Amino acid sequence: MNLKVKLFADGADKAGILEMYENPKISGFTTNPTLMKAAGIKNYKEFAVEILSLINDKPISFEVFSDNFSIMKIQALNIASWGRNVNVKIPITNTKAESSVELIEHLSNEGVRINVTAIMTIDQVKNVLPGLSKGPGGYVSVFAGRIADAGIDPLPIMSEVVNILRDYPTVKLIWASPRELFNVVQADTIGCHIITATNNILRKLPILGKDLTQFSLETVKMFYDDALAANFRL
């Protein structure tokens, strides 16, 4: 299946990142503090700089982690200085529900490429675009998977964002937090610019377009072979 949507790998495991870097279908990378904590990262900058020494030709997003906007600014400028391919992830609000829009506009004016993260509403997208589009541009990461977790169909929201961004050519939509490979197909169908997914989803890409009769037979064989290997008896 020929995909128009760009694929970003989401993760914080060095081996997994480098595995995806070898895949020509992967156009960029994202990570976040939660993924880094899960991967056992102890030194944030050391990890990021090491990855950037190995990958300097594809965009990579690293996130600030302060809850104070003044400190967020310092962190963002520091992170941005680590490499020309760095995008700085700024959450749409802090934990007090205070908007990050002013900070994003300020950083954009200073030439920092921003990936606005944790977005889940159309209003959040609209609020951030004037400031985000003033600088070198960047991304709006809309968490379609979490929207779906709330029992809401994310497709109308994602489609509307695609339409809104037609007036902001320097800003691209990232379909974030996908839950299954079919989300890649959905993102591609609506004209979403990018989808970022974990390696366990991206490794399934060769299955796209697979003949379902053949897929069914392979599944039957898997069950049969596993039963034999387990030496089940009745």
Q: Is there a domain that residue 168 lies in? A: yes
Question: Is 103 exposed, middle or buried, given 0-12, 13-18 or 19+ CB atoms closer than 10 A?
Answer: buried
How far apart are the C-alpha atoms of 159 and 142, rounded to whole Å?
11
Question: Which pLDDT score, from 0 to 100, does residue 1 have?
Answer: 75
Confirm whether 88 is domain-assigned: yes
Helix (H) or strand (E) holding 88: strand 86-91
For the chain, the C-alpha Rg in angstroms (whole number) is: 19
Element spanning 80, H or E: helix 69-80
In a domain, 231, yes or no: no
Q: What is the pLDDT along the chain (234 residues), one digit of tens a residue?
A: 789 999 999 999 999 999 999 999 999 999 999 999 999 999 999 999 999 999 999 999 999 999 999 999 999 999 999 999 999 999 999 999 999 999 999 999 999 999 999 999 999 999 999 999 988 989 999 999 999 999 999 999 999 999 999 999 999 999 999 999 999 999 999 999 999 999 999 999 999 999 999 999 999 999 999 999 999 999
Flag whether 194 is in a domain.
yes
Quote the number of domains for the chain.
1
CATH number for the domain that contains residue 94: 3.20.20.70
User: Residue 5: which H helix or E strand, with range?
Assistant: none
Q: What is the pLDDT of residues 98-150, one digit of tens each?
A: 999 999 999 999 999 999 999 999 999 999 999 999 889 899 999 999 999 99
Angle between helices 122-132 and 101-109 (to 10 degrees): 30
Question: Does residue 222 fall inside a structural domain?
Answer: no
Q: Residue 211 domain-assigned? A: no
Q: 95 lies in which domain range? A: 6-205
Residue 101 to residue 91: CA distance in whole angstroms: 10
Beta partners for residue 208, in sequence order: none
DSSP category for residue 124? H
Residue 13 lies in a domain: yes
Specify if 171 maps to a domain. Answer: yes
